[in-house]
Chains A and B, each alone.
Chain A
């Protein structure tokens, strides 16, 4: 009986940690947007994302924010043009929110409903597949958001009068750790 009680008390903190209130913090990240044009394929990369997750009552709410101006395509002129067409001076942050059941953290593929605030618009992307891998205490999340310029009411930029493609897939690689 005594042994059983001891065992029960030793398991209890683990159960509380699993189901109780806890938080996650974004340790590091790489966010990449891709733009295609007949003459160019361009990628802009940012490592400046900040994020936090708060878990409570079986659900986790995540918030990730990336400054628009932090994306670097290797060409300052193009980066300034990107900020202009995305109205990045007026809406300087890309903000992503998602709410996930806590048990989603146990599966290798997470299907997340993402709410993205960007260029003055708020767009929902349903069931975006994200891959999850655990390394020690850290959790790595990667995936591609199938974003389109038209979703955010952005006029496709043109080079030599030819517009870029509407599709601008955004690839994310994030490492989260519990707080």
Chain B
């Protein structure tokens, strides 16, 4: 039996790939903190006491809040360097916002002049457009879910492309594994390549099957064909090695391939064609 060593090689390869993938995780850089301060004034230029000041990190969405003192001053230390949106609000006035980019170790001053609430001449706001705050407010958690999904699908895409190489090699070497000109070494090579293909295939499939699902997403377009074809080549990728192992045993016993094992070749070609079509379905516009 030549199959166990072949699958063992495939398992090692799959394990190696899994380790390789897990190594590529982003490194976090530590940075010096920055300080932001400023004065909040009303339309007449007087300092506003107890105004609520929100400092939002544009990239992470994290918000730090502060309150102005009796001189209308606020001071927020220990901010991570980056782009920030500073907004100030107090009852009776329209909220004012400003933007600032904080460098590592910097101390920046952002003053905000509030305008009169309800003024018809105030610049339009998202609220004026009927957009509720929850719609305008993003979710870092949802973004992380999307990032993970895209990361896994990118690995799926790359591994899928790499897998075409052993798949094609397996199909090519099938000539030396069956038929009149076949030999034991030809069958061994074919079985080994088949094992590598199967190992890489199921590793590839793992990254698509276990990629996070996005709630409320309705599938449209070429991805539907891609998924339909996955059912064909997925089934084929299970059946083909089983039938191949049966054919391998029969040939090594000096028998002609018989029974369901004789469909090994047909299953393999259908699998290969469905696999190729699945790649093309999301790569080329027909």
Residue among A51, A67, A80 facing the most chain B CB atoms (10 A cut-off)? A80
CB of B128 closer than 8 Å to a CB of A: yes
Tell whether, in the assembled complex, residue B161 and residue A65 are in contact, meaning their CB atoms are under 8 Å apart.
no
Contact with B223, one of A67, A76, A83 (Cβ below 8 angstroms): A76
Q: How far is the CB of B213 from chain A (nearest CB, A)?
A: 10
Chain B residue contacts of A122, Cβ below 8 A: 99
B221 interfacial contact with A, CB 8 Å: yes
Interface residues of A in 30-79 (CB under 8 A from B): 39-40, 50-54, 56-57, 61-63, 65, 67, 73-78
A84 touching B135 by the CB < 8 A rule?
no
Contact A95 B282 (CB under 8 A): no
Q: How far is the CB of A40 from chain B (nearest CB, A)?
A: 6
Q: Are B131 and A65 in contact (CB under 8 A)?
A: yes
Asked whether, in the complex, the Cβ of B145 is within 8 Å of the Cβ of A54, the reply is no
Interface membership of B180, Cβ < 8 A: no
| A85 vs B149: C-alpha distance when bound (angstroms) | 11
Q: Tell me if A54 and B121 are in contact (CB < 8 A).
A: yes
Alpha-carbon distance between A116 and B168 when the two chains are bound, in angstroms: 49
Q: Which chain B residues in 57-92 approach chain A with CB under 8 Å?
A: 58-59, 61, 83
Q: Given contacts A50-B129, A77-B282, are A62 and B217 in contact (CB under 8 A)?
A: no
The smallest beta-carbon distance between B156 and chain A, in angstroms, is: 11
In the complex formed, the residue of A with least CB distance to B99 is A122
Are B158 and A65 in touch, CB under 8 angstroms? no
A148-172 interface (Cβ within 8 A of B): 158-161
Interface segment among B28-36, B136-144, B233-241: the answer is B136-144
Contact: A160 with B129, CB < 8 Å? no
Q: Please, which residue of chain B has its CB at the minimum distance from the CB of A76?
A: B220
Distance between Cα atoms of A23 and B122 in the complex (Å): 11
A111 at the interface (CB under 8 A from B): no
B283 at the interface (CB under 8 A from A): yes
Residue A92 CB within 8 A of the other chain: yes
Interface 0/1 of A77-107, CB less than 8 Å to B: 1101101110111111101010000000000
Q: Which of A116-131 contact B (CB under 8 A)?
A: 120-122
Q: Mark B189-226, 1 if CB is under 8 A from A, else 0.
A: 00000000000000000000000001001111111000
Q: What distance in Å separates the Cβ of A123 from its nearest Cβ neighbour in chain B?
A: 12
A109 vs B124: C-alpha distance when bound (angstroms): 24
Cβ of B123 < 8 Å from any Cβ of A?
yes
Question: Which residues from chain A contact B143 at a C-beta distance below 8 Å?
Answer: 84, 87, 89-90
Within 8 A of A (CB), among B94-147: 99, 120-126, 128-131, 135-140, 142-143, 145-147
A159 to B61, CA, bound (A): 29
Across the interface, which residues of B come within 8 angstroms of A81, CB to CB?
150, 153
Taking a contact as CB atoms under 8 Å apart, the answer to whether A77 and B124 are in contact is no
**Cβ-defined contact, A76 with B131, below 8 A:** no
With A50-B131, A90-B142, A95-B126 in contact, is A77–B285 under 8 Å at CB? no
Contact A52 B129 (CB under 8 A): yes
State A61–B58 Cα separation when bound (angstroms).
Answer: 24
Instruction: Give chain B's interface residues, CB within 8 Å of chain A.
Output: 58-59, 61, 83, 99, 120-126, 128-131, 135-140, 142-143, 145-147, 149-150, 153-154, 157-158, 161, 214, 217-223, 282-285
**28 A-B residue contacts at CB 8 Å?**
A21-B121, A40-B285, A51-B129, A53-B124, A56-B120, A57-B121, A63-B123, A63-B124, A63-B129, A75-B220, A75-B223, A76-B220, A76-B221, A78-B221, A84-B143, A84-B147, A87-B143, A88-B138, A89-B145, A90-B138, A90-B139, A90-B142, A92-B137, A120-B83, A121-B58, A158-B154, A160-B161, A161-B158
Report the 10 A-B pairs with minimum CB-CB distance, sorted nearest first.
Answer: A75-B221, A89-B142, A90-B138, A56-B121, A84-B146, A89-B143, A90-B143, A52-B124, A77-B223, A50-B129
Known A90-B140, A95-B126; 16 more pairs at CB < 8 Å: A21-B121, A61-B124, A62-B124, A75-B222, A76-B218, A77-B219, A77-B223, A80-B149, A84-B149, A87-B138, A87-B143, A88-B138, A89-B143, A90-B143, A92-B137, A122-B99
